[in-house]
Amino acid sequence: MKNPWILYITIRVGLFAVLLAIMLMVGFDPFFSALIAAVVSLAISLIFFNKQRNAVSEAIYKSIDNRRKNVGDKDADSEDSASSR
């Protein structure tokens, strides 16, 4: 996949949904099933999905870095034009 966000979110939501469905079929209370499914899916994703989390982190870093470069270039251009007057 091109966008790491989509892959990571799909894995996290899918894992939560599967755990929630299993717990509801067993007969747990829906509120506590959702709470336990959220905590367990978070723990599983922290342990097993390092590669996907790193890819999302890199995408965030690149996005912020690109924005900073674009803003920096605009500032530099305006400063250069102001100093040449």
For the chain, what are the domain ranges?
4-83
**What is d(CA 51, CA 67) in angstroms, rounded to the nearest whole number?**
25
Residue 27 has pLDDT above 80, yes or no: yes
Average pLDDT over residues 23-29: 96
Signed CA dihedral, 69, 71, 72, 77: sign only: positive
* 2 pLDDT tier (thresholds 50, 70, 90): confident
Report the SS3 class of residue 75.
helix
With vertex at residue 19, the alpha carbon angle to CA 13 and CA 21, rounded to the nearest 5 degrees, is 100
Under the banding of pLDDT at 50, 70 and 90, the label for residue 52 is very high
The model's pLDDT over 59-81, given as tens digits with 9 standing for 90+, comes to: 999 988 888 887 765 555 666 66
20 vs 10: CA distance, rounded Å: 15
